[in-house]
Structure 1
């Protein structure tokens, strides 16, 4: 066990983080330093409360390792995990090798819901596990995830907000940010090979949105925005980043292998919106401008390129996807020139 001072240092580090994904790293690292004789895992849960991935702290490399959760090959007895998830209360038992295992569930935080699992070789070590301490750390984790989530998300749609994009562009724009996640269902695109992808930014705008608000009222306008947010969440992977920028404008940062696949990916979204009939409002359409992120570009420069492609789509019939590079190559718009002082290293 660590000293009370080390414990407070860990808690201070945990509460100083403003990125929900980094909270799990801090939580696992702190508990690893407290219970050095234990193996500790965080089991990531889906929004429905099902195990999705297994995370553990790697002391040697000071990082968290992640593997897909496998019901057949995983270090926690399935019955023990099922019991904890079913009751919502901590569960304790023995695995096939005689190790004592304790599981602490925490759900209700969408993609940040987890179960903590502790495994001890010696009964005396497992008896030293302070359940109240672990639950207190989980409470701190829950509270800060909620605070971060409230600060980073749009209240109406639940998507990330513009401030989050502006605060984190350098980190979000690097391909290295992504980790493997299981292939999603329901028509989402497949996980690309990180070695063969670029990051693409799309600006998505609802066509004639002012007319919708003027004709039907803001309640129906909000319904259109919520529909689009839902279709965006269904269309992209968990590691892709979807924002509402305000009004009827949305932004997506996604890893895609080629211009052709980028056009196809956003084209599917554009058609999905156009095919959906809303009560009273009927069908709505979107115009989408897309550009590829390149080194040394600022967030404003990338957004400007996507906006140029969006404006072209709006001015030439709406309800379509336009790629900035293709428009430049065809000569219909002029390329942006990065001026001195605009360069921002990732």
Structure 2
């Protein structure tokens, strides 16, 4: 970036200071595309996110800036806005060849620069910069400099949010993100279930979608550590994290709270589907052959997310989990159902047998 004009250095430094002041991914992305737009005078810039659903890859626009205004696409967006990854040949070329950039001329004559964002060896998003004239070298230097700062800083943020052993989000991240994900999220896409699963007595059930929090505990995990050692116990945790990732969408959130306990935020799903999804995960674990250890099971308690505090919501899910373990393990229990049936009393209890996070 040695060829950058003195006039550009001051605003460039100002933007770099602003970029590195953020501790949250979406705000970081907004500051980056704003800096790129203001410093390069291009037509438009988009941030596109890649996510997986039903083993298929899709792309959804997360934010765009044009005519000087930034528009963010939040989680209230309809799933209709997602497009198959195959509809973006430039992004496909970046993935196939592991490219750090791709430059092309669009059918309308505009010049488009694609900048993939790589994380853990996978492309999780991409910046699209569109200009009505070819990119000059000085402009490319500015773009590369800001974009590399963004990628490096995003990696640092991601590292601080993850559990070192499993790579899942950690408890600290849950505490920071719960309110945003629990109350701001809305239907994005439903899980893949057979049509028969959505029917009752020949009629389609029109059930409202909600958001759910589940607490998962590996049954008899202490015995695994005592019998096989902590190395095999760690391997069980790593493989459990892989099963969790495979059982839920990339838009859901999975956390390791420490030890053998995990928390799941399941988004925009009916109660009927949530029950099936959680039980499908339980079956996936039950059917998996863990090296040396053999068969492992999990117990799960879940609750509908309301505008209660995280402590209350976690406490309710933990009560349901405790009941699942007390009732024989390897099962799922729904808190509201247990309350309605009189098995549990509503509200946080001080029962010493219930362990709260």
TM-score (norm 1): 0.81
Structure 2 residue aligned with 1:208, among 220, 229, 234? 220
| Aligned counterpart, 2:139 | 130
1:24 and 2:29 correspond: yes
| Aligned counterpart, 2:14 | 9
Alpha carbons of 1:29 and 1:69: their partners in 2 closer, same or farther (altered >3 Å)? farther
Judge conservation of contact 1:32–1:57 (CA < 8 Å) in 2: no
TM-aligned CA deviation for residue 219 of structure 1: 1.1
| Aligned counterpart, 2:64 | 57
Gapped runs of 5+ residues in structure 1?
339-346
Q: Aligned to 1:282, what secondary structure does the other structure show?
A: coil
Q: Aligned to 1:210, what secondary structure does the other structure show?
A: helix
> Within 5 Å, which residues of 2 pair with 1:101-180?
101-109=112-120, 113-123=124-134, 126-127=135-136, 130-174=139-183, 176-177=184-185, 180=188
Cα distance in 2, alignment partners of residues 62 and 94 from structure 1: 24
Cα distance in 2, alignment partners of residues 256 and 181 from structure 1: 7
Q: Aligned to 2:163, what secondary structure does the other structure show?
A: coil
1:244 and 2:256 correspond: yes
1:289 and 2:301 correspond: yes
Cα distance in 2, alignment partners of residues 98 and 21 from structure 1: 31
TM-aligned CA deviation for residue 142 of structure 1: 1.4
Judge conservation of contact 1:112–1:145 (CA < 8 Å) in 2: no
Judge conservation of contact 1:68–1:181 (CA < 8 Å) in 2: no
Q: Aligned to 1:13, what secondary structure does the other structure show?
A: helix
Structure 1 residue aligned with 2:281, among 269, 283, 290? 269
Alpha carbons of 1:182 and 1:11: their partners in 2 closer, same or farther (altered >3 Å)? farther
Query: What is the count of residue pairs matched by the alignment?
Result: 323
Judge conservation of contact 1:184–1:237 (CA < 8 Å) in 2: no
Judge conservation of contact 1:44–1:112 (CA < 8 Å) in 2: no
Judge conservation of contact 2:60–2:82 (CA < 8 Å) in 1: yes
Cα distance in 2, alignment partners of residues 38 and 233 from structure 1: 38
Alpha carbons of 1:20 and 1:112: their partners in 2 closer, same or farther (altered >3 Å)? farther
Alpha carbons of 1:4 and 1:86: their partners in 2 closer, same or farther (altered >3 Å)? same
Cα distance in 2, alignment partners of residues 181 and 256 from structure 1: 7
Cα distance in 1, alignment partners of residues 173 and 34 from structure 2: 26
Q: Aligned to 2:166, what secondary structure does the other structure show?
A: coil
Alpha carbons of 1:61 and 1:327: their partners in 2 closer, same or farther (altered >3 Å)? farther
Gapped runs of 5+ residues in structure 2?
75-80, 199-206, 350-357
Alpha carbons of 1:8 and 1:197: their partners in 2 closer, same or farther (altered >3 Å)? farther
Cα distance in 2, alignment partners of residues 305 and 282 from structure 1: 31
Judge conservation of contact 2:51–2:124 (CA < 8 Å) in 1: yes
Q: Aligned to 1:283, what secondary structure does the other structure show?
A: coil
Alpha carbons of 1:267 and 1:223: their partners in 2 closer, same or farther (altered >3 Å)? same
Judge conservation of contact 1:44–1:114 (CA < 8 Å) in 2: yes
| Aligned counterpart, 2:230 | 218
TM-score (norm 2): 0.79
Cα distance in 2, alignment partners of residues 39 and 182 from structure 1: 31
Structure 2 residue aligned with 1:254, among 254, 266, 269? 266
TM-aligned CA deviation for residue 335 of structure 1: 0.9
1:198 and 2:210 correspond: yes
